[in-house]
C-alpha cells in the first residue's frame, strides 16, 4: 500500500540522542480512518515518534509520511489537516477563558467547528467562562482535545488523551474518539491505560527501547501465545477423562475443588459448544460459566517486563 493511501506511513525510523537511540528502526502503517494505539513503557520512544510525525522533531534517518506528505518539508500544507493534542495540555494561554481560547483557535481554521457546540461535546459548557488556569487537570485535557479538533482535521494525534480525567469524562472522550473514527478521521493515540487501547484501537503497537515488539488487533494480541480458560460450577466428580475426549485436541480439564471446574485450551465457539453439549448429554447444568482470556495488560507486561523503570 502506498504512503499516499495511508494516514501515517513510517519506514525504518531512527532518532538518537547522543549514543542512545530513542527510536531504533521503527516502522508502522495507519490506514485512513483507522485508530492506532501506541503502547510502551516510559522512555520507549512513543512521544519521540509522535513528535516526528507532527513535525516537531527531525528524524535522523528513515521515511515518514503523514497524509502522504513530509511533516517537515510540507509542514505548511500539512498543518491545517492535522490536529494535535499535546501532553502538556493548552500551553501558555492560562489567562484566557476556555471559550476565548477555543474561539481563537477556530479563527485560524478555514472551516472550524462552532466553538460553543464543541465545548458542549467535550463537556465544558459550564466552564466556558472559566480562565484556563482555574480549570482542573481533567478539564484542561478536555479543552486540549477540543483545540485539537476545532479545525476539522483529517488526522489527530492524541498523547495520553484521558490522563487526569474522572471516569465519566474518560468514557465521554472514548465516545468522541469512536465518533471520529465513524466520521473517517484517522487517530493515533498514546496511552498508559491499556483498557483504553483495547476499547478504541483497530491496531495496537507495543514498542520498547525504540523498537516494535508486537502489533496487531487487540483480539489478535490477547489471543496469541496464550491459552484461554473456561470456568464453571456443576455437581462434583464429573468424568473429566470423558470430557477431554470430547473436547478439541489440546484441551484440558480439571476440578480444582469439588464442583468447580476449569477447562483450558484455545477458546473457540467450537470448544464452548462442545463443552455445553457434553454437560447436557450428562444431564448436568453448567452454572456460572465464564470465559476468561489474557488481557492487553497481560500481553504488555509479558513483552516489556514487570519491573518498574525510571
160-164 LR contacts (CB < 8 Å, sep 24+): 160/87, 160/190, 160/191, 160/192, 161/85, 161/189, 161/191, 162/191, 162/193, 162/196, 163/87, 163/137, 163/192, 164/136, 164/137, 164/138, 164/140
pLDDT at 1: 43
| pTM attached to this predicted model | 0.78
SS3 42: coil
The mean pLDDT of 200-223, rounded to a whole number, is 91
Q: How does the average pLDDT of the chain come out, rounded?
A: 91
Tell which wins on pLDDT, 89 or 282: 282
Tell which wins on pLDDT, 264 or 244: 244
- Which numeric CATH code is attached to 227-292? 3.30.70
pLDDT tier at 93, thresholds 50, 70, 90: confident
Taking the C-alpha atoms of residue 60 and residue 73, their distance in angstroms, rounded to an integer, is 15
Enumerate the domain spans of the chain.
3-219, 227-292
Cα 135 to Cα 92, 112, 209, distances in angstroms? 13, 24, 35
The strand order across the sheet containing 20-31 reads: 20-31, 6-17, 61-66
Q: Are strands 228-233 and 260-265 parallel, antiparallel or unpaired?
A: antiparallel
pLDDT tens digits, one per residue of 34-43: 999 999 998 8
pLDDT tens digits, one per residue of 129-151: 999 999 998 899 999 999 999 99
pLDDT tens digits, one per residue of 116-130: 999 999 999 999 999
pLDDT tier at 88, thresholds 50, 70, 90: low
Q: Check whether 224 has a pLDDT greater than 80.
A: no
pLDDT at 308: 43
Taking the C-alpha atoms of residue 77 and residue 33, their distance in angstroms, rounded to an integer, is 20
- Grid cell locating 119: 465545548
The mean pLDDT of 69-91, rounded to a whole number, is 89
Q: In the CATH scheme, what architecture does the domain 3-219 have?
A: 3-Layer(aba) Sandwich (3.40)
Q: Check whether 8 has a pLDDT greater than 90.
A: yes
Count CA atoms closer than 13 A to 120's CA, side-chain side: 5
pLDDT at 220: 86
pLDDT at 48: 94
pLDDT tier at 180, thresholds 50, 70, 90: very high
pLDDT tier at 310, thresholds 50, 70, 90: very low
CA dihedral 90, 95, 98, 101 (to 10 degrees): -70
Residue 64 β-bridge partners: 10
pLDDT at 137: 87
Amino acid at each position: 500500500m502506498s504512503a499516499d493511501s495511508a494516514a501515517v506511513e513510517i519506514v525504518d525510523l531512527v532518532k538518537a540522542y547522543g549514543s542512545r537511540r530513542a527510536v531504533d528502526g521503527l516502522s508502522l502503517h495507519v490506514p485512513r480512518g483507522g485508530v492506532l494505539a501506541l503502547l510502551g513503557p516510559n522512555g520507549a520512544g512513543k512521544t519521540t515518534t509522535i513528535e516526528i510525525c507532527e513535525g516537531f522533531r527531525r528524524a535522523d534517518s528513515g521515511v515518514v509520511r503523514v497524509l502522504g506528505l513530509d511533516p517537515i518539508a510540507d509542514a505548511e500544507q500539512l498543518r491545517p489537516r492535522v490536529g494535535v493534542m499535546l501532553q502538556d495540555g493548552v500551553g501558555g494561554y492560562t489567562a484566557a477563558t476556555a471559550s476565548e481560547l477555543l474561539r481563537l483557535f477556530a479563527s485560524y481554521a478555514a472551516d472550524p467547528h462552532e466553538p460553543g457546540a464543541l465545548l458542549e461535546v467535550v463537556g465544558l459548557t459550564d466552564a466556558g467562562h472559566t480562565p484556563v488556569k482555574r480549570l482542573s487537570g481533567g478539564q484542561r485535557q478536555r479543552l486540549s482535545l477540543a483545540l485539537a479538533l476545532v479545525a476539522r482535521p483529517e488526522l489527530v494525534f492524541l498523547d495520553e488523551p484521558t490522563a487526569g480525567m474522572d471516569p465519566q469524562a474518560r468514557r465521554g472522550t472514548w465516545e468522541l474518539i469512536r465518533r471520529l473514527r465513524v466520521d473517517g478521521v484517522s487517530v493515533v493515540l498514546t496511552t498508559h491505560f491499556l483498557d483504553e487501547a483495547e476499547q478504541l484501537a483497530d491496531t495496537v503497537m507495543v514498542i520498547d527501547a525504540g523498537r516494535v515488539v508486537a502489533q496487531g488487533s487487540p483480539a489478535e494480541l490477547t489471543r496469541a501465545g496464550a491459552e484461554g480458560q473456561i470456568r464453571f460450577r456443576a455437581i462434583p466428580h464429573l468424568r473429566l477423562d470423558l470430557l477431554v475426549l470430547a473436547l478439541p485436541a489440546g484441551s484440558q480439564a480439571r476440578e480444582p475443588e469439588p464442583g468447580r471446574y476449569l477447562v483450558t485450551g484455545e477458546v473457540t465457539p467450537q470448544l464452548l459448544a462442545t463443552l455445553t453439549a457434553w454437560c447436557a448429554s450428562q444431564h448436568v447444568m453448567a452454572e456460572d460459566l465464564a470465559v476468561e482470556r489474557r488481557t492487553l495488560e497481560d500481553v504488555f507486561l509479558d513483552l516489556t517486563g514487570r519491573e518498574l523503570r525510571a
